[in-house]
A and B are shown apart, each in its own frame.
Chain A
Amino acid sequence: SQQGEEDPQALSIQEGENATMNCSYKTSINNLQWYRQNSGRGLVHLILIRSNEREKHSGRLRVTLDTSKKSSSLLITASRAADTASYFCATNSNSGYALNFGKGTSLLVTP
């Protein structure tokens, strides 16, 4: 079952702008992860934020987590054309032995 839901479904920006994607989920989590997928390829792990963390940074990425609202956001600063991809949030299932992915945000960064 899909627990995470990303918003917006699609986002188009110009190089140099910031891109913000949101993720909402339904049940309690141990951690939340963000992945990136280039067209037709496998997913690449970007960042993991644990339930007791509120913000995490990695290079041009900034992730926030609000467990009271069951939501997370991914901010990509100073976007580049190479950032064009789909971005997914993922939360652990109740069993802990599967990740539930949302349907993703498709990001297009134009030069």
Chain B
Amino acid sequence: KAGVTQTPRYLIKTRGQQVTLSCSPISGHRSVSWYQQTPGQGLQFLFEYFSETQRNKGNFPGRFSGRQFSNSRSEMNVSTLELGDSALYLCASSLTAPNEKLFFGSGTQLSVL
């Protein structure tokens, strides 16, 4: 089975731009979670989707949004980028719920200049 695939691996943007990150979960996994990782804040939960529905959202501004498609693939979007959005964005999938074992992708390293 292929693992969790995140694209792109690296991204460089400038302040004010927007960005879309993509995540393909493991086949058969219906829950997809997104995390932001920075050296200062560690891993911060962004949101979780299951069957195209957002079940939980972390404490991030509305500039951060996401969605899940019928094939369980997920995207997250960050609009009006700020320098502080520079981070490693990690996607993780699980069969039904993220309180069980999570499988992580390699992440997208976003740099905002």
Contacts and interface: CB of A to CB of B under 8 A. Distances in A.
A101 B99 contact: no
A102 B42 CA distance: 7
Interface in B44-75: 44-45, 48, 50, 55-56, 58-59
A30 B99 contact: yes
A40 interface: yes
Contact of B109 (A31, A40, A92, A100): A40
A7 to B, nearest CB: 14
B4 interface: yes
For chain B, give the interface size range.
20 to 34
Contacts of B42: 2, 101-104
Please classify the interface of chain B as helix (H, G, I), strand (E, B), loop, or mixed, using the class held by over half of its residues: strand
A99 B42 CA distance: 13
A61 interface: no
Contact of B97 (A40, A96, A100, A101): A96
B25 interface: no
Contact of A31 (B4, B6, B56, B99): B99
Contacts of A104: 42
A59 to B, nearest CB: 16
Contact of B103 (A40, A45, A48, A93): A45
A1 B57 CA distance: 11
Interface in A50-98: 88, 90, 92-93, 95-98
Interface in A23-39: 30-31, 33, 35
B100 A48 contact: yes
Contacts of B106: 41-42
B22 interface: no
Interface of A: 1-2, 30-31, 33, 35, 40-45, 48, 88, 90, 92-93, 95-104
